[in-house]
Amino acid sequence: MLSRLLVAAVWFLHFLPLPVLARLGNALGSLIFSLARRRRHIVLVNLGLCFPHIDAHQRRQLAKAHFKVLTRSVLERTLLWWASRQRLSRMIRLEGEERMRALLDAGRPVLLLAPHFVGLDAGGVAIAMRFNSASIYAVQSNPVFDRLLLRGRQRFGDQLLLSRQESVRASVRAMKAGRPLYYLPDMDFGKRDSIFVPFFGVQTATVPGLSRLARLAGAVVIPCVTRLLPGGEGYAVTVGEPWQDFPSADVEADTRRMNTWIEAAVRSMPEQYYWVHRRFKTRPPGDPRPY
C-alpha cells in the first residue's frame, strides 16, 4: 500500500514545468547531500580516487553538484514515465540518429555503449521513441516499482527488456534481429566474469562484455552519452561515431579502451557520472577496501 501511495504522489510531479522540477531537484539534492552520510562518503571516496589532484573543498563542491543533478534526474524521471511523446520530444534532443539508422538499415547489429550518467534513462527513452531496441535491466525487489520501471521503459515501440539473469545469447539474438542493444557495462558486479583494468588509474573490476558481445554478434559499437542540461533545458543525447578496429583479438585491451573512453566522457561533465555507486568495491587480492 505504501509503495502505491508513493507512486501516486510522484505521479503529480510530471505535471510541473521542467524548470520548476530542476529547481526542486537542486534544493532537494542539497538537502540529501547534507543528510545522506553514507552515500556522501561513497561519492567523496570515488572522487578522491579519480581526481586526486583536486583538494578536499573542490571534491566536496563536486559531490554536492552531483547530488543536485542526480536528484533532478530522479524527479524528472516522472516525465519519462508519464509525459506525452510530444513533450518528451521537445525535452530530449538526439544527435546522430541518422548514423545509427544507416547501420541498422544496412543490416549491421548495433551495440550502444551507454555509461552511467544521471541522464541515462532519458537517453534510453530517446532511443526507444525512434527504434525497437533491447536493454538489460535489474529486477527490482519491490514488485510495484518493478512494474513501474518496466512500463516506463516499454512505453514506446516494441522494446525488449532482458534481465541480468538471462544468457548472453538473448542479447546477441536481439542485436542480430535488428535491435540496437542499450548496454551499460560500467558498474562493479563483483569478481565473477570481471577483469581488472585501469579506470582513472585505479585497477577496477570491469565486465568485458562490450568486447565479447560485439564479437559474438558481429556488432558495431557506438558510444551513446546523455547530458543533463542546465536550468531545466532538458537532455542532449549524442550517438557518436562507430568505433573502428573493435573488437580486437585482445579482450583486455578492448576493455581498457572502453574504460579510457568512459574516463574522457566523465571528465567532460564530472558531476553527472553516477558516483553514488561503489565502483571500486571489488579489489585485487591484497588491496585495501576504500569504503
Beta-carbon contacts of 133 under 8 Å, excluding residues fewer than 6 positions away, are 112, 127, 157, 159, 160, 179, 180, 181, 182
Confidence (pLDDT) at 12: 87
196 contacts: CB under 8 Å, gap ≥ 6: 203, 204, 205, 206, 284
* Segments making up each domain of the chain, as ranges: 2-272
Q: Which of 110, 113, 48 is nearest to 255 (CA)?
A: 113
pLDDT of residue 1: 60
Among 127, 62, 84, 93, residue whose Cα is nearest residue 235:
93
6-23 per-position pLDDT tens digit:
777 788 888 999 999 999
Q: Is the C-alpha dihedral spanning 114, 118, 185, 283 positive or negative? A: positive
- pLDDT for residue 184: 95
Cell of 42: 561513497
pLDDT of residue 139: 76
Checking if the pLDDT of 181 tops 80, the result is yes
Architecture of domain 2-272: 3-Layer(aba) Sandwich (3.40)
Q: How confident is the model at residue 235 (pLDDT cuts 50, 70, 90)?
A: very high
pTM over 0.75: yes
Q: What type of residue is 105?
A: D
Contact, 142 vs 113, CB < 8 A?
no
Which residues, 6+ apart, have CB-to-CB distance to 248 below 8 Å?
A: 211, 254
For residue 44, give the C-alpha cell.
Answer: 567523496
- The model's pLDDT over 119-157, given as tens digits with 9 standing for 90+, comes to 999 999 999 999 999 998 877 777 877 787 788 888 999
